[in-house]
Structure 1
């Protein structure tokens, strides 16, 4: 059995690469999908597909529509969603992705520091598992495959 795991969360840090390396070290039979992690391409995709937009707001709207399409399609195909909340950047995209996972009834592993407990209590209440580190999230995924 293989699982498809959607990696939701900030695109400003290398956490996805590190998470994938942890899964590879554990030899977990998982495939990863997620948002476009090339930030520049993500911001420009609306104009890449639809052509130049008349202002920055419409440029953002066009990119948002296409990025939302990607998120919805890939998350629908996912077996599990891992949403990582960091401290450094605003986490609106992570919160939105976690909300989509909840709405789609996808199993959700929420990764957040203890200090973010209050801010994320509603999302945590809907997650199947809440952990503090990516390593703990990998252990939760590994348990799915445990024979004993």
Structure 2
């Protein structure tokens, strides 16, 4: 089975690469939001300078949304990663968008943030605590057995 997988969320660890590497023997394609923090923050800068950071962020969020909306709409399944160091509000938004579209998603996060993510996890079809668990779920989904 061929799957298109969208990888959303935390950008400060190697979780994406671990999933991609673990799935190398399967017919999966992967996509993601821009993971370069500075580039993402500057996505709207080509549209002109802003005196207030709110408007700079607003424009960049909209430019980034062109990419993320299209990739989420085209994916078969999304992996939504919440890391320990930062709050990934964008990942929560992506999860909500997946839920609204009826796109299956898997959350990936540690046990210590179960409570704040209870609604996000309730709509997920699986919750994993490691990229390796995500790989095993994806392999199972794609298997012929």
* TM interval, short-chain normalised: over 0.9
- Structure 1 regions of 5+ residues with no counterpart? none
The match for 1:82 is 79
The match for 2:54 is 57
The match for 1:30 is 28
Bigger Cα displacement from structure 2, 50-59 vs 74-83: 50-59
Q: What is the Cα deviation at residue 51 of structure 1?
A: 2.4
RMSD value over aligned CA atoms? 1.2
What do the CA deviations read for 1:76-96 (whole angstroms, capped 9, x no partner)?
000000011111111211111
The match for 1:98 is 95
- Structure 2 regions of 5+ residues with no counterpart? none
2:37 to 24, 39, 47: 39
Q: What is the Cα deviation at residue 55 of structure 1?
A: 2.6
Bigger Cα displacement from structure 2, 8-17 vs 125-134: 8-17
**CA distance in structure 2 between the aligned counterparts of 1:21 and 1:131, rounded to whole angstroms:** 17
Paired residues, what number? Answer: 145
